Amino acid sequence: MAKASSKPNETILVTGGAGFIGSQTCKMLAQEGLVPVTLDNLTTGHREDVKWGPLVVGDVNDHACLARLMRQYQPTAVIHFAAVTAVGESVTDPGKYYRNNVSGSLSLLEAMRDFGIKDLVFSSSAAVYGNPMRSPIPEDHVVVPINPYGSTKLMMERIMSDFAAAHGLRFVALRYFNAAGSDPGGEIGERHDPETHLIPLVLDAALGRRANVTVFGNDYPTLDGTCIRDYIHVADLADAHLRALAYLREGGHEQAFNLGTGQGYSVKEVIAGVQRVTGRKVPHVVGERRAGDPPELVADPLRAKRLLDWTPKHSSLDTIINHAWAFRKKI
């Protein structure tokens, strides 16, 4: 991989650097000799997960805070994770999603423009595809989000294109499939409050911390009737961000990249995988479908492989579960 940095003590602004994927990316940036400066409002992020560079507690919507940070740390690029991310909540509280994910990101883009920072790696999502017509999904698939969360990510992709044309912004949009796993070194991991994601909930059921896990619908048009997702390890996601930064610096042009493995697993397969890896029983019940859930989301990751030379290394289902399990047992 081309190096993301050439200067000593070069700083990179990481918004949402206290979160699950952000903190893992900070760790990897530091390993590459870069200084990650985290901007996080700590509503969902964890102060103790900011271990590899300074933390500024603040909001991307706060222009004055952004300007102070830019002046003090003079970042040369931005990796923008800060966002609200619960699909279900975006349906019931869309204002929160447009304010944080669109208005907040816009304020960041304006600060970048004002301070002459050109390179941006943006956290997008497979949610931009809505109910896909094909599987696996290539990046040129039609984008029709079916929930406000996906709409905010698509709007930002469009806004970034306009900023690229008008102000010379260079960006890539990384469309994550299902982020999972945990730091292979065991230092940080996934914890949301409340937890809504499948793998941590299944692990909690295996640990007896919850009575059971509910399978959201078993009447989908899939092999076993449960939803299929493409689970991608957080360390592989972090690695893709560094590669994206290097790609921009080598003159790579604006585009979206799918980050997934190309292999999907159903909810039932994930439960079976957890039982196999942990040796514990996972009590589960079948419930109603969850609003906004497409039956299957599986990436065609060929573009990231070709242009970023990115190949997931930790994303077999067993490795994902093993790492997530090691972390879950500790917290």
Judged by the rule CB under 6 A, the positions of this chain that interact with ligand UDP are: 87, 178, 196-198, 201, 213-216, 227, 229, 267, 290, 293
Number of residue whose CB is nearest ligand UDP: 227
First to last CA, the chain: 34
* Inter-CA distances, 23 with 18, 30, 122, 147, Å: 5, 11, 15, 27
Strands 228-229, 265-266: pairing kind: antiparallel
Residue placing its CB nearer to ligand UDP in the complex, 13 or 238: 238
Residue placing its CB nearer to ligand UDP in the complex, 36 or 294: 294
Question: C-beta of 227: minimal distance to ligand UDP in Å?
Answer: 3
Dig out the tokens for 162 from the structure: 């306009």
Residues paired with 216 in a beta bridge = 287
Question: C-beta of 244: minimal distance to ligand UDP in Å?
Answer: 21
Question: C-beta of 229: minimal distance to ligand UDP in Å?
Answer: 5
Long-range contacts of 22-25 (CB under 8 A, 24+ apart): 22/79, 22/81, 22/82, 23/49, 23/50, 23/51, 23/188, 24/183, 24/188, 24/234, 24/235, 24/237, 24/238, 25/79, 25/81, 25/237, 25/238, 25/241, 25/242
The residue among 270, 266, 284 whose CA lies nearest residue 229 is 266
Residue 247 appears among annotated catalytic residues: no
Question: C-beta of 177: minimal distance to ligand UDP in Å?
Answer: 8
Alpha carbon distance 53, 58 (integer Å)? 15
The residue from 97, 129, 149, 231 that is catalytic is 149
Question: C-beta of 216: minimal distance to ligand UDP in Å?
Answer: 4
Residue placing its CB nearer to ligand UDP in the complex, 82 or 179: 179
Residue placing its CB nearer to ligand UDP in the complex, 198 or 235: 198
Alpha carbon distance 272, 122 (integer Å)? 34
Question: C-beta of 42: minimal distance to ligand UDP in Å?
Answer: 22
Alpha carbon distance 217, 293 (integer Å)? 10
Residue placing its CB nearer to ligand UDP in the complex, 162 or 219: 219
**Is residue 58 within 8 Å of 74, Cβ to Cβ?**
no
Residues paired with 13 in a beta bridge = 37, 78
Residue placing its CB nearer to ligand UDP in the complex, 69 or 87: 87
Residue placing its CB nearer to ligand UDP in the complex, 94 or 252: 94
Question: C-beta of 57: minimal distance to ligand UDP in Å?
Answer: 27
- Within 13 A of 214's CA, how many CA atoms are on the CB side? 7
Alpha carbon distance 136, 236 (integer Å)? 19
* Inter-CA distances, 164 with 44, 109, 161, 308, Å: 30, 10, 5, 20
Any idea which residues carry the catalytic annotation?
Answer: 149
